Amino acid sequence: MRAAVVTEFGGPEVVEVVEVGVPEPGSRQIRIKVAAAAVNPVDVGVRVGVFGGAGERLGLGWDVAGTVDAVGAAAGWAVGEQVVALVYGMGKSLGTYADYVVVDADSVAVAPVSVDAAHAATVPLNALTAAQALDLLALEAGQSLLVTGAAGAVGGYAVQLAVRQGLSVVGLAREADEELVRSLGAGRFVSGEVASRSVDAVLDAAIVGESALEWVRDGGAFVAVIPHTEPAPVRGVRTAAVEVSADGARLAELVALVDEGVLTARVAQTYALADVVKAHVRLAEGGVRGRLVLVP
């Protein structure tokens, strides 16, 4: 089968598509025939060496939508089921940029029926990150939350989930994105200066960092979406960063919200697996609204 990997760190050009053996599922695992795999910033991190692994073959891709192709013992899934999954990809020799991928059975959920595979592939990593970041914030209905990068994939899901929780949401994004951010449910939109200590919490999907703490009231909360990027706490503000974890049960809840129209899965552009370098070049150009998705 084909898989996109890196064996050296660098720009988009270091990603190569190679022929590898089809992986076999072990106990409590399933194999998925990949229909779509989202391209995420974390894949760039793997590609440039942020997470280490020099000299190794590293697979790319954390999101997958596809069809169960084979099952291991006690997997609890059946061949032919349409599914989505998060594959925690740090240090793996194969990721979801491939024709087939093996995943742990408890990381899998039935795919949404209201969208195609490309859109379904944008849900696992981004929606789980948003949901688990909101868990860390532990806000109550009526409290105010500012989401940075509100027009992005994680930020957009965060806005919609926060609104569903009854939070008063302020979306921070570029001025050109105001219509989009408001369509996601943000009650307020800002593109520049934010008043000091004006919100109960910040969900920092854009990794603004320490300066965003000034927007949080004393005793509020701040959560970043990349591990270890949270600033030190000040004025009693709790700070943390989410490290996304695979959770099939939670993913199933998020899939249901897609089918209910609560969450909007957005695809910016699709690419063939053979054009994975082009996808990484486009991601590097910035300004992508929704996810780039590989469709093998």
Q: What is the DSSP string of the chain?
A: -EEEEESS-SSGGG-EEEE-PPP---TTEEEEEEEEEEE-HHHHHHHHTTT--TTS-EE---EEEEEEEEE-TT----TT-EEEEE---TT-S--SSBSEEEEEGGGEEEPPSSS-HHHHTTSHHHHHHHHHHHHHH---TT-EEEEETTTSHHHHHHHHHHHHTT-EEEEE--GGGHHHHHHTT-SEEESS---TT-EEEEEETT--GGGGGGGEEEEEEEEESSTT-PPPP-TT-EEEE------HHHHHHHHHHHHTTSS---EEEEE-GGGHHHHHHHHHH----SEEEE--
For the segment 227-272, what is each residue's pLDDT rounded down to a tens digit? 999 999 999 999 999 999 999 999 999 999 999 999 999 999 999 9
CA 39 to chain centre: 9
Between residues 145 and 54, the one the model is more confident about: 145
Is residue 287 pLDDT above 90, yes or no? no
Pair type for strands 100-104 and 29-39 = antiparallel
pLDDT value of position 90: 74
Encoded tokens for 161: 């989930």
Distances (CA, A) of 85 to 65, 122, 253: 7, 10, 13
pLDDT value of position 19: 97
Residues 150-168, mean pLDDT to the nearest whole number: 97
pLDDT value of position 77: 98
Could you give the CA distance from residue 263 to residue 281 in angstroms, rounded to a whole number? 28
Cβ atoms within 10 Å, residue 106 = 15
Instruction: List phi, psi (to 5°) of 43.
Output: -65, -35
pLDDT value of position 130: 98
The model's pTM is 0.96
pLDDT value of position 113: 98
State the average pLDDT for the chain: 96
pLDDT value of position 89: 75
pLDDT value of position 7: 95
For the segment 46-103, what is each residue's pLDDT rounded down to a tens digit? 999 998 989 899 999 999 999 999 999 999 999 999 999 999 877 788 999 999 999 9
Could you give the CA distance from residue 120 to residue 106 in angstroms, rounded to a whole number? 18
Domains of the chain: 2-123+265-294 (3.90.180.10), 126-241 (3.40.50.720)
**Percent of the chain clearing pLDDT 70 (strictly above):** 100
Residues 167-195, mean pLDDT to the nearest whole number: 95
Query: Do residues 200 and 216 make contact, with C-beta atoms less than 8 angstroms apart?
Result: yes
Helix 153-164 with 124-137: angle, nearest 10 deg: 50
Is residue 140 pLDDT above 90, yes or no? yes
For the segment 196-228, what is each residue's pLDDT rounded down to a tens digit? 999 999 999 999 999 999 999 999 999 999 999
Residues 31-59, mean pLDDT to the nearest whole number: 95
pLDDT value of position 247: 97
